[in-house]
Structures are given as C-alpha cells and as structure tokens.
C-alpha cells in the first residue's frame, strides 16, 4: 500500500514520549516506532507485567509506568511521579481505550467506564501534564478518535448513560467525547497562545485486542463472532499510521485529524479525516470541557 509510512518518522532522539495503553495493539506499535526512531518512550499501562513484556519486545529506550485511567487517584499518582522524573514531555499519545459489551460498568470514581477511561481519564492526565508539555519546544497531544464518533450524540442530561444504557452507543459517545476533547483542547491552546499542538487520529477498523476483549463475556461463540468481524479489518501496523503521523510529521497543525482514506475511512493509506458536525461544534466543546472539569476536579486552560 502506498502513502505515508513509519519510515517517514523523523529522528526522535532527545524527545520524551508518553503512550497510554502501550502494551497492546495500536499503542504497542506506536511505542515501538517511536522507540525505533530514538525517542525515550514511557509505556503508561495498567498492567505493569504486560508493560514489561512489551518493553522486552520493543527494546530501545523505554520505561514502564503504572497508569489506570479508570481511577483519578491512579492518574494523579502517575502524573506526579512522571513530572518529578522528567523536566519536559514532548509527546503525549492518549491512546488507551476500552470497548464494553454487556451490562453498564463504572470506573473507580463512579463514571460510566468507557467515558471514564477513554475521555475523562485522558482529560485529567493531559491537564496534570500540561506544565511539563509546556516545557518542551514543540509538544504535541494526540487524541484517539474513532469512526463511531460520527454516528454518536452526547446527552448532557445523562452523560453517565444511567438511563436506558446500551453498550455500543456508550462506546460511540465516549469516542465522540474524546474527539470533542482533542478539538476543544486545540481551541484553548491557541487562545492561550500556547505552542503545544493538539492533533487527532483514528485507525479506521484495525485488528487489535479491542473487539475480541469486548466479546469475552460471551464465551466461545463471542470469540468466534469477534474473529469473524476481524476479517474485515486492516493490520495494526497500518492502523497505527494515522496516530504516528499526527504525532511526528513536521508541520502538523493544531486540530488536524488523520485517518485511513478508503471505504468511509475504514482502511487504507493515511489522509486527513473528517469530524462530525457535533465534534466540531465550539458550543459543544465548551460545554463538555466544563462538565469534564466539574467531574474530574481538574481545571486547566
């Protein structure tokens, strides 16, 4: 397949990159490529044994640190230790995510688990690391969107989906919220005159552990269905290219959004992707930001 490839990543030596969910799937490939090009990569993982195993596979200049995005205490502890050990952070890839099927679940802080992990955890993490990102020369924050954001709608009267919960729309809402966060972060960084760039990426439909894990609760039949679904997806190496491009290509502007180019952005070479109208709406961005500040107790920008 032609187009942008990981071989176009510039020299990353001297840069500190944090990748959440770096032990698996897109995060693992992202961390591997950043390390291969010389970055010091922090593997921010909830399971440190899996993180150590990933570190062995990656080789290079990597360190493993514990981060559970479904717990604000864990996010605070991670950010405090990281900030104490690194004078500046050049790149934050907010990659980790969960898809759930089955009944509604909540995070340690009582948030609907997909919104809590995918968006609110990363909102808090970014705010707590902002000072260290500001210390870097050309820092970037990358938010992981999904094509599911395009058919999702936020319900500000029921952000935690307590009424008529359905798992699939809840995942879509969490990725819409993550997308809105990345776009609103860009607006606020610009308004503050900050050189930090907030860019976005999505991997189309990519073969990772995401969907098989979601089907785990359905046993062997679930695994069969998940495997069948994976036949229609692209490789994880290809799927990671949009986020690697957003993270490393020189000249990426705040708010730029990358994804695959073929078949409604589900696979193929990297191109600029399209935001849904709701994701691009500044009024929605402002409202979600205020809600995230109130829910997490972390205020910034």
Ligand X SMILES: NC(=O)c1ccc[n+]([C@@H]2O[C@H](COP(=O)([O-])OP(=O)(O)OC[C@H]3O[C@@H](n4cnc5c(N)ncnc54)[C@H](OP(=O)(O)O)[C@@H]3O)[C@@H](O)[C@H]2O)c1
Q: Which residues are catalytic?
A: 171
114 near ligand X, rule: CB under 6 A: no
* Binding-site member from 203, 242, 254, 285 for ligand X (CB under 6 A): 203
Q: Report d(CA 190, CA 34) in Å as an integer.
A: 26
* Binding-site member from 209, 261, 271, 276 for ligand X (CB under 6 A): 209
Give the pair of three-digit tokens for residue 248.
């490393």
Which CB atom, from 9 or from 201, has the smaller least distance to ligand X?
A: 201
* Binding-site member from 126, 208, 238, 248 for ligand X (CB under 6 A): 208
- Kindly state the smallest distance separating residue 216's Cβ from ligand X, in Å: 11
Residue 258 forms beta bridges with which residues? 201, 272
- Kindly state the smallest distance separating residue 247's Cβ from ligand X, in Å: 13
222: Cα within 13 Å, side-chain hemisphere: 12
266 near ligand X, rule: CB under 6 A: no
243: Cα within 13 Å, side-chain hemisphere: 36
* Binding-site member from 5, 47, 48, 276 for ligand X (CB under 6 A): 47
Q: Report d(CA 81, CA 245) in Å as an integer.
A: 28
* Binding-site member from 82, 91, 144, 284 for ligand X (CB under 6 A): 144
* Binding-site member from 76, 105, 188, 213 for ligand X (CB under 6 A): 213
42 near ligand X, rule: CB under 6 A: no
**Residue among 175, 196, 173, 176 nearest 186 (CA):** 196
245 near ligand X, rule: CB under 6 A: no
202 near ligand X, rule: CB under 6 A: yes
Which CB atom, from 27 or from 255, has the smaller least distance to ligand X?
A: 27
Sheet arrangement for strand 16-20: 62-66, 40-45, 16-20, 91-94, 140-144, 197-201, 257-262, 267-272
Residue 263: how many other CB atoms lie within 10 Å:
11
CA 225 to chain centre: 26
Give the pair of three-digit tokens for residue 226.
């998940």
21 near ligand X, rule: CB under 6 A: yes
210 near ligand X, rule: CB under 6 A: yes
**φ, ψ (nearest 5 deg) of residue 97:** -170, 155
Interacting stretch for ligand X, rule CB under 6 A, among 183-191, 200-208, 257-265, 288-296? Answer: 200-208
* Binding-site member from 69, 79, 91, 129 for ligand X (CB under 6 A): 69
Q: Is 30 helix (H, G, I), strand (E, B) or coil?
A: helix
- Kindly state the smallest distance separating residue 92's Cβ from ligand X, in Å: 14
**φ, ψ (nearest 5 deg) of residue 214:** -65, -30
Which CB atom, from 106 or from 209, has the smaller least distance to ligand X?
A: 209
Q: Report d(CA 146, CA 182) in Å as an integer.
A: 12
Q: Report d(CA 133, CA 89) in Å as an integer.
A: 5
Binders of ligand X in range 277-296 (CB under 6 A): none
95 near ligand X, rule: CB under 6 A: yes
27 near ligand X, rule: CB under 6 A: yes
* Binding-site member from 97, 172, 255, 268 for ligand X (CB under 6 A): 97
| Chain residues in the site for ligand X (CB under 6 A) | 20-21, 23-27, 46-47, 50, 67-70, 95-98, 117-118, 144, 146, 175, 202-203, 205-206, 208-210, 213
């Amino acid at each position: 397949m032609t187009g942008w490839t990981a071989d176009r990543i510039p020299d990353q030596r001297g840069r500190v990159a944090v990748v959440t969910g770096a032990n698996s799937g897109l995060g693992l490939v992202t961390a591997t490529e950043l390390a291969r090009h010389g970055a010091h990569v922090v593997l921010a993982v909830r399971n440190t044994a899996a993180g150590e195993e990933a570190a062995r596979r990656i080789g290079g200049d990597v360190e493993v640190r514990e981060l559970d995005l479904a717990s604000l205490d864990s996010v605070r502890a991670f950010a405090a230790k990281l900030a104490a050990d690194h004078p500046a952070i050049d790149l934050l890839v907010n990659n980790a995510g969960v898809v759930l099927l089955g009944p509604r679940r909540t995070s340690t802080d009582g948030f609907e688990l997909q919104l809590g992990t995918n968006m609110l955890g990363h909102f808090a993490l970014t705010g707590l690391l902002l000072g260290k990102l500001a210390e870097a020369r050309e820092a970037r924050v990358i938010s992981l969107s999904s094509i599911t954001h395009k058919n999702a709608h936020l319900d500000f009267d029921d952000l935690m989906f307590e009424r008529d919960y359905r798992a699939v729309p809840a995942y879509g809402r969490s990725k819409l919220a993550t997308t809105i966060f990345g776009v609103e972060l860009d607006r606020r960084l610009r308004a503050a005159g900050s050189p930090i760039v907030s860019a976005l990426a999505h991997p189309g439909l990519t073969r990772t552990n995401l969907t098989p894990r979601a089907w785990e609760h359905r046993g062997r039949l679930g695994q069969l269905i998940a495997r069948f679904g994976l036949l229609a997806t692209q490789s994880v190496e290809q799927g990671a290219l949009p986020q690697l491009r957003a993270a490393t290509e020189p000249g990426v502007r705040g708010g730029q959004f990358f994804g695959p180019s073929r078949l409604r952005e589900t696979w193929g070479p990297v191109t600029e992707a399209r935001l849904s109208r709701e994701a691009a709406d500044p009024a929605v961005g402002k409202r979600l930001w205020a809600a995230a500040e109130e829910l997490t107790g972390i205020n910034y920008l």
